[in-house]
Structure 1
Amino acid sequence: MVAQRPISRPIILLGLVSLLTDMASEMLYPIAPLYLTGPLGASLILVGLLEGLAEGMGGILKGYFGALSDRLGTRAPFVRAGYTLSAFSKPLPGLWPAASAVALGRLADRLGKGLRSAPRDALLASHAPIGAQGRVFGFHRAMDTAGAVLGPLAALAFLALRPGDYATLFLLAFLPGILAVLCVWRVQDVPFQPASSRRFAPLAVLSYWKQSPPDYRRLVIALTLFGLVNSSDVFLILKAKQAGFSDTAAIGGYVLYNAVYTLAAYPAGDLADRLGKRRVIGWGLGLYAAVYVGFALLTQAWQAWVCFAIYGLYAAATEGVSKAWIAEIVPPEQRGAAIGLQTMLASLSVVVASTTAGLLWEKLDPTAPFWVAAGGAWLALFWLRATTRA
Structure 2
Amino acid sequence: MKSIDKNVVMLGWVSYFTDMATAMIQPILPLFIVLILHEGMDKLGFIVAVATFVSYAMRLISGYLSDRYGIVKPFVVAGYGLSTLTKPLIGFTTNYQQITVLQSLERLGKGLRSAPKDLMIAAYSKKNASGKTFGFHKMLDIAGELSGTLILFALLALFGQSESVMRNIFYATLIPGMIGLVLMIFFVRDTPKPSQHVSLKFTFSEKDKQTIKALFVYFFFVFFMFSNAFFTVQAKEIGIATALIPLLFVVSTGIQTATSYIIGSWIDKVGVKRIMMFAYLSGVISQILLYLQNPLSTWFAFAFMGLFTVASLNANRAYIADTAQNKGSVYGVFYAGVALFGAVGAYIGGVIWEYFGMHTALGYSLTGTLVMLVLFGLAVRNGK
TM bin (shorter chain): over 0.9
Cα distance in 2 between the residues matched to 1:194 and 1:246:
57
Q: CA deviation at 1:155?
A: 1.6
2:131 is matched with which residue? 134
Cα distance in 2 between the residues matched to 1:87 and 1:178: 7
Aligned to 1:338: 330
Aligned runs of 1:188-199 on 2, under 5 Å?
A: 188-193=189-194, 197-199=198-200
Give the Cα separation in 2 of the matches to 1:242 and 1:141.
31
For 2:180 and 2:84, locate their aligned partners in 1 and report how far apart those are by CA, in whole Å: 8
Q: 1:97 to 1:213 in 2, by over 3 A?
A: closer
* Maintained 8 Å contact 1:286/1:377: no
Q: CA deviation at 1:253?
A: 0.8
CA contact (8 A) 2:207 2:323 kept: no
Q: Which residue of 1 aligns with 2:266?
A: 271
1:1-390 map, 5 Å: 5-163=2-160, 164=162, 165-185=165-185, 186-193=187-194, 197-199=198-200, 208=204, 211-299=206-294, 301-331=295-325, 334-387=326-379
Paired residue type of 1:173: T
Aligned residue type for 1:142: M
Distance 1:98 1:175 in 2: 25
- Asked if 2 retains the 8 angstrom alpha-carbon contact of 1:52 and 1:351, the reply is yes
Q: How many residues align?
A: 378
Q: 1:214 to 1:80 in 2, by over 3 A?
A: closer
C-alpha distance after superposition, 1:74-102 (max 9, x if no partner) = 31111111101111112112244544433
Q: Which amino acid aligns with 2:251?
A: L
Q: Which moved more, 1:359-368 or 1:38-47?
A: 359-368
- Runs of 5+ unmatched residues, structure 2: none
* Alignment-mate amino acid for residue 93 of structure 1: I
Post-superposition offset of 1:386: 4.3
Task: Output the CA distance in 2 between the equivalents of 1:267 and 1:182.
Answer: 29
Report the secondary structure of 1:46's partner residue. Answer: helix
SS of the residue 1:90 aligns to: helix
- Whether contact under 8 Å (1:65, 1:118) holds in the other structure is yes
Measure how far apart 1:170 and its partner are. 0.9
Query: Is the contact between residue 135 and residue 314 of structure 2 (CA under 8 Å) also seen in structure 1?
Result: yes
* 1:307 alignment partner AA: A
> How much has 1:249 moved relative to structure 2?
1.7
Q: Determine if contact 1:361/1:369 at 8 Å carries over to the other structure.
A: yes
Paired residues of 1:291 and 1:311 also in contact (CA < 8 A): yes
TM-score by length of 1: 0.91
Aligned residue for 1:146, secondary structure, equals helix
Would you say the 8 A contact 2:208–2:330 is kept in 1? no
SS at match of 2:36: coil
C-alpha distance 302-385 of structure 1, shift in aligned 2 (>3 A)? closer
Preserved CA contact (<8 Å) 1:297 1:367: no
Between 371-380 and 131-140, report the one with greater CA deviation.
371-380
User: Contact 2:131–2:318 at 8 Å: present in 1 too?
Assistant: yes
2:192 counterpart letter in structure 1: P
Structure 1, residues 340-371: CA drift from partner, whole Å, max 9, x if none?
Answer: 11110111011211111111112223123333
Letter matched to residue 199 of structure 1? L
